[in-house]
């Protein structure tokens, strides 16, 4: 603990006391102690053990503060600060990190405006709500926005793909109105469909780069221009995310798009193929390295197809460009015909207001019809999930009666637009076994088995719970098989190889949960499952009609795994799905 560390703890304590509206004298005492300590040239530890000086001799530090300093030197902690930290809303700590926001302003933001996150603060600034408060003004508001981006950038976690996708979509709408812009495309990890995106890469074709850059800088969501060159510019957008824009002449667009889509591993392999063919390939184009007396040819590079064909390959879908064997497959003509959203016919995991969903059974069915689905399964939680008011046998059977009636009504409407399967998301209990009796599960048309509790158990225990579910004859699919939540919670410790092996043997399906924060199975696991002959189900796990829209994210993950429509159960017509279910076990 340096003197500066100790001073910082006292400053922090003073901040929180001031936030809480505490006695001014106490607050001033801590601040003045912090100043004294920070200015002291001898270390506090040395003073403490010195025979000539003592801590209580320091200006503004009495017996009480000297005792606190001793505690800090011994334990590294200031108990009064720990206590306060536990009491004050978490957002206060984030707000204090924004330059220019003192305790009083922070208190106003939290208590008067109800700010509970940095996102909330950004929204309030953009809505002009902050400038109206006492002590704030337009200038403060603008400086908060600027500093907010900075604070975020220093602790930036990678965006979920879906978040990056939404930001990019808004940017593209804005850029459409830019004069002289011929084409604009996303690249980088966004284009490869990665589950998270670090920064967003955008390429444009235009013969007047300056106009395009200017338009980019004037996007209403641009909070800061980080760097601006003649043909390249970087800004901070919503949430502090960096967006790189490059303007390319039409003749090099294919070379640039291929280069900036990546991945780096993929590009390295493509470039070495180019060299083997006597070519040099970079973001500007393709050139022959073989100089003959009269030619130094430049090859066409306006499209990605130009680039791949120059190295003897067919065009490779961006989702496969990870340097995991796709170049070999392409060279052999063995690239998979990747699944698309249009291949999906059904959605086999969703919730209703009977448990923790936001929309009723009837509303979910209507939402599914609007999405053009041919069938869905209603899979609410089982009784163990008390937080979600999970279903016991009686409530589940009552829901199934309502589904029967609904199906009859749908069928009576004429050509039945959708069939609703009677399902359940049954919990794998902590002690092993499933959360509902076999006689109930046997009556279900579709059973998702998921592990929600006891995620901290050791590998052997978790694995055996999941294997038991895989082996259970009534279980159709294992839901979100690793339990991870991107940026929030790691996967539980499970022997995925054993699960895949058992699933292949028993004909139990494995889920790609399409929820943007889950995407579970991930691409590598899904590819391994497919190789082992396991059939995959892509499901939204929707908790609202809106949630049904997540299917695209799940399909993207499946594409990264190299899956084709035939690998995915819910591309089947319902009759084929039913006969596949009958043929299992
Ligand atoms: P991110 O932003 O971390 O989610 O991942 P990417 O893949 O979007 O990476 P980024 O933004 O650093 O660069 C975009 C693409 O540009 C990258 O996928 C490949 C290409 N690239 C960037 N730097 C290099 C490099 O040093 N060598 C090669 N071969 N390619 C690069
Ligand atoms: Ca990027
Ligand atoms: Ca980038
Ligand atoms: Zn669920």
What tokens were used for 561?
A: 């795994």
**Residue closest by Cα to atom 17 of ligand 1:** 262
Q: Ligand 1 centroid to 487 CA: how many Å?
A: 21
Q: By alpha-carbon position, which residue is closest to atom 31 of ligand 1?
A: 264
User: Which of ligand 1's atoms lies nearest the C-alpha of 199?
Assistant: 2
Phi-psi region of 456 (alpha: psi -120 to 50; beta: other; left: phi over 0): alpha
Q: What token pair was written down for 272? A: 């070495």
Tokens of 388: 């979600």
From the CA of 481, how far away is ligand 2's center (Å)? 28
Nearest ligand to residue 265 Cα? 1
Predicted local confidence at residue 100, as pLDDT: 79
Domain 341-583: CATH superfamily is Metal-dependent hydrolases (3.20.20.140)
Looking at the CA of residue 189, tell me the nearest atom of ligand 1. Answer: 8
**How many whole angstroms from 165 Cα to the centroid of ligand 2?**
12
Spell out the residues 6+ positions from residue 379 whose beta carbon is closer than 8 angstroms to its own. 348, 349, 350, 351, 423, 424, 425, 446, 448
Ligand 1 mutation pick, 160, 163, 187, 188, max ligand atoms within 8 A of CB: 188
Q: What is the pLDDT of residue 246?
A: 98
Closest ligand 1 atom to the C-alpha of 262? 18
Q: Please, are residues 68 and 62 in contact by the beta-carbon 8 Å criterion?
A: no
pLDDT by position in tens, the chain (length 585): 778 889 989 988 998 898 888 888 889 999 999 989 988 888 898 899 888 889 998 988 989 999 999 999 988 889 898 888 888 887 887 888 787 788 889 999 999 999 998 889 999 999 999 998 988 999 899 889 888 876 776 555 789 999 999 999 999 999 999 999 999 999 999 999 999 999 999 999 999 999 999 999 999 999 899 999 989 999 999 878 999 999 999 999 999 999 999 999 999 999 999 999 999 999 999 998 887 666 557 888 999 999 999 999 999 999 999 999 999 999 999 999 999 999 999 999 999 999 999 999 999 999 999 999 999 999 999 999 988 899 999 999 999 999 999 999 999 877 768 999 999 999 999 999 999 999 999 999 999 999 999 988 899 999 999 999 999 999 999 999 999 988 767 789 999 999 999 999 999 999 999 999 999 999 999 999 999 999 999 999 999 999 999 999 999 999 999 999 999 999 999 999 999 999 875
Q: What is residue 525's three-state secondary structure? A: helix
Residue closest by Cα to atom 28 of ligand 1 = 264
Q: What is the pLDDT of residue 155?
A: 55
The pLDDT assigned to 289 comes to: 85
Which pLDDT score, from 0 to 100, does residue 156 have? Answer: 58
Residue 375 CA to ligand 4 centre (angstroms): 17
Close Cβ partners of 299 (under 8 Å, ≥ 6 residues apart): 279, 285, 286, 287, 288, 306, 310
Burial class (CB in 10 A: 0-12, 13-18, 19+), 368: buried
- Tell me which of 196, 202, 264, 487 to substitute to probe ligand 1's pocket, judged by most ligand atoms within 8 Å of the beta carbon: 264
CA of 260 to the centre of ligand 2 (A): 8
Q: Are 483 and 455 in contact (CB under 8 A)?
A: yes
Fold of 252-331: Beta Polymerase; domain 3 (3.30.210)
pLDDT score of 282: 94
User: Containing H/E element for 506?
Assistant: helix 496-506
- Atom number of ligand 1 nearest to Cα 271: 29
- Residue length of the chain: 585
* Predicted pLDDT of residue 489: 76
* pTM for the whole structure: 0.77
Atom of ligand 1 nearest to the CA of 201: 11
Checking DSSP bridges between strand 446-450 and strand 477-478, what pairing results, if any?
Answer: parallel
Q: How many CB atoms lie within 10 A of CB 21?
A: 12
- Matching fold, domains 159-247 and 341-583: no
Architecture of the domain defined by 3-155:
Orthogonal Bundle (1.10)
User: Which residue CA neighbors atom 18 of ligand 1 most closely?
Assistant: 262
Q: Whose CA is nearest to atom 26 of ligand 1?
A: 264
CA of 580 to the centre of ligand 3 (A): 45
Ligand 1 binding pocket (C-beta < 6 A) is 188-189, 194, 197-199, 201, 259-260, 262-264, 267-268
The residue extents of the domains of the chain are 3-155, 159-247, 252-331, 341-583
CB atoms inside a 10 Å sphere around CB 53:
13
Contact 577/375 with Cβ under 8 angstroms? yes
159-247: CATH, from 3.10.310.30, 3.30.460.10, 3.40.50.2300, 3.30.365.10: 3.30.460.10
Quote the CA–CA distance of 25 and 204 in Å, as a whole number.
Answer: 60
């Amino acid at each position: 603990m340096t003197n500066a560390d100790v001073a910082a703890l006292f400053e922090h304590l003073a901040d929180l006391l001031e936030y809480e509206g505490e006695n001014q004298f106490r607050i001033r005492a801590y601040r003045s102690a912090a100043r004294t300590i920070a200015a002291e040239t001898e270390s506090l530890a040395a003073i403490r053990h010195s025979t000539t000086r003592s801590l209580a001799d320091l200006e503004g530090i009495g017996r009480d503060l000297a005792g606190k300093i001793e505690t800090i030197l011994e334990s590294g902690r200031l108990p009064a600060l720990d206590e306060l930290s536990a009491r004050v809303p978490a957002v206060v700590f984030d707000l204090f990190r924004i330059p220019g926001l003192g305790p009083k302003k922070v208190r106003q933001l939290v208590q008067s405006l109800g700010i509970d996150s940095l996102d909330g603060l950004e929204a309030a600034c953009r809505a002009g709500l902050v400038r109206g408060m006492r002590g704030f003004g337009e200038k403060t508001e603008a400086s908060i926005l600027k500093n907010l981006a900075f604070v975020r950038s220093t602790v930036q976690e990678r965006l979920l793909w879906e978040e990056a996708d939404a930001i990019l979509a808004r940017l593209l709408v804005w850029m459409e109105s830019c004069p002289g812009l011929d084409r604009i495309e996303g690249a980088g990890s966004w284009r490869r469909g990665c589950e998270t995106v670090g920064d967003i890469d955008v390429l444009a074709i235009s013969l007047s780069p300056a106009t395009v850059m200017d338009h980019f800088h004037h996007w209403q969501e641009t909070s800061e221009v980080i760097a601006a060159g003649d043909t390249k510019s970087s800004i901070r957008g919503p949430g502090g995310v960096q967006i790189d824009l490059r303007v390319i002449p039409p003749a090099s667009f294919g070379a640039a798009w291929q280069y900036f889509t990546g991945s780096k591993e993929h590009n390295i392999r493509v470039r070495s193929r180019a060299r083997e063919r006597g070519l040099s390939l970079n973001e500007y184009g393709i050139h022959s390295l073989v100089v003959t007396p009269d030619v130094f040819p430049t090859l066409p590079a306006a499209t990605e197809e130009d680039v791949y064909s120059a190295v003897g390959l067919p065009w490779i879908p961006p989702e496969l460009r990870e340097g995991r064997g796709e170049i070999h497959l392409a060279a052999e003509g063995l690239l998979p015909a990747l699944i698309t959203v249009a291949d999906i016919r059904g959605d086999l995991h969703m919730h209703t207001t009977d448990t923790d969903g936001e929309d009723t059974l009837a509303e979910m069915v209507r939402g599914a019809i609007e999405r053009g689905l041919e069938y869905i399964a209603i899979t609410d939680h089982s009784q163990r999930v008390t937080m979600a008011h999970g279903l016991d046998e009686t409530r589940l059977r009552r829901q199934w009666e309502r589904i029967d009636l609904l199906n009859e009504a749908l069928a009576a409407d004429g050509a039945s637009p959708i069939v609703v399967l009677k399902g359940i998301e049954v919990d794998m209990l902590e002690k092993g076994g499933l959360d509902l009796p076999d006689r109930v599960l046997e009556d279900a048309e579709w059973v998702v088995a998921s592990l929600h509790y006891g995620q901290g158990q050791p590998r052997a225990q978790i694995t055996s719970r999941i294997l038991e579910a895989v082996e259970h004859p009534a279980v159709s699919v294992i839901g979100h098989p690793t339990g991870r939540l991107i940026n929030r919670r790691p996967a539980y410790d499970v022997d995925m190889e054993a699960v895949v092996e058992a699933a292949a043997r028993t004909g139990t399906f494995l889920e790609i949960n399409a929820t943007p924060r889950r995407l579970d199975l991930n691409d590598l696991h899904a590819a391994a499952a497919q190789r082992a002959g396991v059939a995959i189900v892509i499901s939204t796990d929707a908790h609202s009609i809106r949630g049904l829209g997540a299917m695209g994210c799940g399909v993207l993950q499946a594409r990264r795994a190299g899956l084709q429509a035939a690998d995915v159960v819910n591309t089947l017509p319902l009759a084929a799905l039913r006969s596949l279910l009958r043929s299992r076990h």
